[in-house]
Structures are given as C-alpha cells and as structure tokens.
Chains A and B, each alone.
Chain A
Amino acid sequence: MDFELSADDLALQSGIVELCRGRFTMDRIRASEETGALDQEMWSELVDAGVFSLRLPEDEGGVGLGCTQAVLVFEQLGRALVPGPLVATHLGADFGLTGIVGMVDRDVSPLLVEHLDSLDRLLILAPDGVWVCDADDVQGGQVDAFLDPLTPLYAAASLPKGQLLASDGAGMKLRGAALTAAYQVGIATAVTERAVAYAKERRQFDRPIGSFQAVKHICADMLVRAEVARAAVYAAGVILDDPSAGDETRAVVAAQLLANEAAVANGKACVQVHGGMGFTWEVDVHLFLKRAALLATHFGSNDERAETMAAFL
C-alpha cells in the first residue's frame, strides 16, 4: 500500500498544472463568456496534451495510463475551470469517437444538452446501454438564460435513437462519475485557494480578515471538505484500475457524493469570504460555484448516490 502520488504521477500532475497556468488562464476562459461557444484552439491544445487519449493504449495513439492518472488530470482541469464536455469526450475516446463529444441522459427531464452547437457527437445514456448520434441530428434550441455562463444549454424535444455503443453502460458511467468527481475536487480546491488568498489580502478593522477566527474557520472547513473528498476520489481512481482493492461502485459513488458537496459548499463559502465582491459577476468565484452545481447533476443526483451508499449497509 502506497496511497500517495508516485514520481510519475507527480510529473504528470505538474505537467498539467503548468499547461493550465500557462495556457488556460481565467482571462482566456472568460473570453468565451459572451458567445458561449467553445474555444476551438483551446480544445486542440487539450487534445494535443492527451487529455482525451490518456487512457487509450499506446498502439491506439494513447498514453496508456489508468483512471488513477486520469483523476489527477481532471482534478487540475477543474482547478483551472477549463470549460467544455471534457468527461464525455474522454469517455467517447474509449469507443473510438473523435472530435468534441457531449453526453446526455435520455431519461432525465428536462432534456438539456450542454454545448450542443460545439459538439460533433453526442453520447446518449439509456437504461439499455450507451448510444451515440451525430450532434447535427439533435434538434435543440439554445436556452436563452442558463446557470453556468460557460456551459450553454440546448433544449431538445427528443433524441434520435442513435447507434448502440455498449449494451452495458455501467463501467463507463463509473469512470465518468470518477472523473467528474475529480473535476469537482479541483473546483473545491481552487475556491479554497481563492478564499484564503483573499482572506490574507483583504483588510478590515486594520487587519487581514483571515486573522479573524470567524473567517479562518470557514477557510479551514473548506480545506477539510476538499481533502476528504480528494482522498475518496483518488481511492476511486485506484479501485477502478484495480477492483481487487475495493468495491468500484461504492468507491466511486462515495467519492462523487462528497466531491459534489465539497465543490458546491466551498463555492458558496468562497462567495461568503469575498463578501459583497463575491456576489459580483466580475469576480470569478460564481463561475466555479455554477459549474459545481451543474456537474453535481451529472450521472444522477446526490440523493440517488446516498441511496446507493445506504444499500451497502
């Protein structure tokens, strides 16, 4: 047992951190706020960095890594708030799908497709398996107002039947849930860092507000939520690669439950620490919070996850 990043993992992690810092700056990410369209150049950079081919075997043009490493990469993408259907495109690669791949759950109402105008293909999750269709075949009108400014939504009246990719989508959903949870841990971490930085710099009553226990304790709770969720998410990644180390469903569901809560609760706490500025559109905090709320709806709800966990008792 050695439950900490290996030298290779650390190298991978610092590589993706540098990529995000250098290329995916908040200015660049926010530039697409007006149009809502995905930044195609940024997407190419993600493709080139191997974000989507990470787990493919090397002879298929991939990097040959596991979920353990994919989790580390998606955590950093979340920390940088990189927009787009990252998880769906990554999962699509397992089926040989290329281009920008979205995802929708056929049975979830309302039927809202994220990023539809930017998509090439759409994965359709259904009780009888995973299906795929061309994005062009989906009739959907853009929703005028939507929660996450960087995730435009399209209302679809119905979905084409598409083509069956796999009759059992359980494994794919678990991998997607783990990567989504990793992204949420990244958000939970990013907003903790932002709250702490602000608490050190913002002065009231002639001292940094972070010196007040009332503020310090909010920040401490943020770190605790992020660290507990991170441990669960890393465990989920490892167990997906090595099911002898634990129950895959139990590990992933617990991780996603806690990561969703950490991301949303920390996002709200970050608004609180920023005071009035935290409630402005200008400060980035709301973008993290809104993405956290959006991702918390992926692969089922937290109520369903809590039910799944209860079934293990």
Chain B
Amino acid sequence: MDLRYSESEERFRAELRAWLLNVLPALPPKPSGEEWHARRTYDTTWQRMLFEAGYAGIDWPRAVGGREATPAEQLIFLEETERAGAPYVGVNFVGLLHAGPTLVAEGSDEQKARFLPKILRGEEVWCQCFSEPNAGSDLASLQTKAVRDGDHYVVNGQKIWTSFAHVADYGELLVRTDADAPKHEGITWLILPMDAPGIEVRPMRTIAGSREFSEVFFNDVRVPVANRVGDENDGWRIAMVTFSFERGTAFVSELLSSLRMLERLADLARKIPRADGTAWDDAGIRRDLGHLAADFDALWALTKRNVTQAARGTGVPGLGGSVFKLHYTEARHRMGDLAMRLLDRSSLSLEDQETAEHVRGWLHAMSMTIAAGTSQVQRNIVGERILGLPKER
C-alpha cells in the first residue's frame, strides 16, 4: 500500500497547478444562482479551456479524445482544481460523467464521432431524462412510451428531476418500447434532441429556492431511430453501465469542497459570539466539527481505495461508490445540522453570503440522500450485492 504519488503523477500535478494559476484569473466572475444561460456560458467556457489545455474528459479513453489519466491523476485533478478554486463541472455534468461515458461504452462509431467531441469541447450540453413521477427508486417501471414509425420513434409521456433541461441540447432518454415484456426488458436508451417539436420544459423550484430541475413533457416527439444507443429493449442494461459510475465519482468530486466548507464553518464558529466568547469555546461544537474532519479524511482514504480497486479490476467499483455515498451524504446532513445549530437565529436571514452558504448547504444535503439512488436503495444494494442478504419478497 502506498499513498505517495509517483514522480510522473507529481509532474502532472505541477503542470496542472501552473496552468490553473495562469488561466483562472482570466475567467469571468461566476454568474449568480438562477442565471441559467449565463451559467451555461460560464461552465462551457471553462470546459473549452480544459479542452484546449488537454484536460477535458480526464477519465475518458484517448481513442475518443479524452485524457485517459490514471486514477491517481484524476484524484490530483480533483485536488488541484479544488485548491485553486476552479469551476465545478456544472451543466457539463451529465455529458461528461454520464451520457458521454455511456456512449463511449455502448454508442455506435457514428454516435461517438458525432457527440463525444462536442461534449469535450463544451459545445453541447446534456441532461438526463430518466425518472418519472411514478418511476423514481423503481426506475424500471417507467412508462414514457416510444412507438416505432418508419425511421423514427414517436415519444409520449413525462420525465421529472431533469437537471439543466432548459439549457441542454441533448438528453439521455429512457423510454418503454415493449409494454408487454417484463419491466426491465422493454426499455430503450435514446439520444433526445432537446429542440425537437413537442417537448415542453417546466422548471420546478427546489426547497433551496433554485430552479435547476425541470419536468419534461413529451407530446408526439419524433426521435430518429439512428439515435438509439444499443438494441431496442436493451436500454436498462445500458443505463446500468453508467449508474455505478455516477455513484462512484459524482460525489467524490464534492468531497474536497465539503472539507473546505467545514474549514469555513470552523472559521465562522470562531467568530460567532456566545455568552463569554465565541461558539468555538463550546466543546460540543468543536468536537462535532472535529468529528466531521475525521469523516471527510476517511472518505478521501476510501476514495483512494475505491479507485485503486477499480484500476486493478478488483472489488466492484460501483459498490464502493454505494458505501461512499451512504457515509458522505450522512456526514453532509450532520454538517448542515451543525451549521444550523451554530448559526441559531442568524440562519433565518439569507442576506449574508457567508451565512447563506451554510444554510443552503443544510437544505442541499437533503437532496444528497435522495438523488442518484436514495440512501434506502443504496442500503439495499449494499445489503444484497455486497453482503448477500436475500431480496425482500
């Protein structure tokens, strides 16, 4: 076991650090929360900069234009971009971390050539049209229907929880193409052009006040059969290919920023006045802060184990992702609760940015134990697939 980075990995770090130092000052200020078109421009501009410097698709194979960095280099990339305060993946999330890798694994040569370069260059933004009002944790029961009509599928139905739908060019769409087959065997994976006639996007407001999610309605939307990824009715398997990936990596990239957020919360505790000093003088507060530092440190160590296992082909990376997600999201709940306890009545006004970050973090944490497989679904996965406990009948 070795936690040190090799010479070539350290070289990668030094080059990346120098590049970040050079380009970040040139980046325009980040647009505020609800300016979605400006945010798209900001995130895709950053993606373009990554592309030009050779950092786009850090984990993608070289054959499709990615960097094909080693797992250690990917962790260094997370460490250095976080350290430098570089933008997060933002609206490029689905393209880079979900739809793109799905096309790499399962797309045709034409589909790869058409779509992957534009994701890498930040020219096209993707969204995910998987969940439905009646198909959440039980995603395979989805009912949005696609009927073949010549060289098109005609899609009718409704999707929900589609992040960035209003600024996306394409969507990864799961539809039911065989209503009579068992539920997992009648699903097809389609590439959905978001400008197709018959699509209506209705943003929803989250408990944090933001509007990144939308409902997407389909009324006789025509999608070319050429946009099908994999075979008809094989969409469930294709969706599963990247699900474990989503759980394994999506939350890891947030871990380091959570540790920074914890440090800011500790700074805040040192400033918040209490009877005879500050909140930092309260041993209960200090210990809870310290405990969270232990949790985040341990999760970073767990991440290193997970990526090593993935690189060696031992263990099951998706399952390591479930363990990570369960503990990480629970720790984020605790951090949010601690922030609320610290802030007390200061948490009620969201005018002060320093305060609002932590109050929004408290609210945001509630989405983490729901999105990308609820904690209850994750515990079933851990219980059944790692521990071998029988399924519930």
Residues of B within 8 A of A192 (CB): 387
Q: A232-B294, A306-B288 are in contact. Are A212 and B3 (CB under 8 A)?
A: no
Determine if B371 is an interface residue (Cβ-Cβ < 8 Å). no
Residues of A within 8 A of B287 (CB): 303, 306-307, 310
Residues of B within 8 A of A221 (CB): 326, 379
Residues of B within 8 A of A237 (CB): 1
Question: A224 and B327: CB pair below 8 A?
Answer: yes
Question: A220 and B382: CB pair below 8 A?
Answer: yes
Chain A nearest CB from B305 CB (Å) reads: 5
Question: B382 and A224: CB pair below 8 A?
Answer: yes
Q: A4-B309, A306-B287 are in contact. Are A232 and B389 (CB under 8 A)?
A: no
Determine if B299 is an interface residue (Cβ-Cβ < 8 Å). yes
Residues of A within 8 A of B286 (CB): 306-307, 310
Question: Of the 9-residue stretches A81-89, A130-138, A147-155, A239-247, which lies at the interface with chain B?
Answer: A239-247
Question: B75 and A1: CB pair below 8 A?
Answer: yes
CA distance A165 to B327 in the complex (A): 41
Determine if B302 is an interface residue (Cβ-Cβ < 8 Å). yes
The chain B residue sitting closest to A72, CB to CB, is B1
Chain A nearest CB from B86 CB (Å) reads: 21
Q: Which of B2, B266, B382 contacts A223 (CB 8 A)?
A: B382
The chain A residue sitting closest to B264, CB to CB, is A313
Q: Which of B6, B295, B308, B388 contacts A4 (CB 8 A)?
A: B308
Interface string of B56-78 (1 = CB under 8 A from A): 00000000000000011001000
Q: A257-B291, A313-B266 are in contact. Are A1 and B6 (CB under 8 A)?
A: yes
Q: How many residues of A contact B (CB 8 A)?
A: 57
Question: B390 and A234: CB pair below 8 A?
Answer: no
Residues of B within 8 A of A227 (CB): 302, 323
Question: Of the 9-residue stretches A25-33, A90-98, A203-211, which lies at the interface with chain B?
Answer: A203-211
The chain A residue sitting closest to B294, CB to CB, is A254
Question: B9 and A223: CB pair below 8 A?
Answer: no
CA distance A30 to B305 in the complex (A): 35
Q: A210-B389, A220-B383 are in contact. Are A254 and B298 (CB under 8 A)?
A: yes
Question: B308 and A2: CB pair below 8 A?
Answer: yes
Question: A313 and B263: CB pair below 8 A?
Answer: yes
CA distance A313 to B259 in the complex (A): 9
Question: A3 and B308: CB pair below 8 A?
Answer: yes
Q: Which of B71, B290, B376 contacts A309 (CB 8 A)?
A: B290
Chain A nearest CB from B250 CB (Å) reads: 18
Chain B nearest CB from A287 CB (Å) reads: 22
Chain B nearest CB from A306 CB (Å) reads: 4
The chain A residue sitting closest to B266, CB to CB, is A313
Residues of A within 8 A of B383 (CB): 210, 213, 216-217, 219-220
A contact set with B: CB distance below 8 Å:
1-6, 9, 68, 192, 196, 199-200, 207-208, 210-213, 216-217, 219-221, 223-225, 227-229, 231-232, 234-235, 237-239, 242, 244-246, 250-251, 253-255, 257-258, 303, 305-313
Listed from nearest, the 6 A-B pairs whose CB atoms lie closest are A310-B290, A309-B290, A306-B287, A254-B294, A216-B383, A313-B266
5 other A-B residue contacts (CB within 8 Å) besides A2-B2, A309-B289: A3-B304, A196-B389, A217-B380, A258-B294, A311-B290
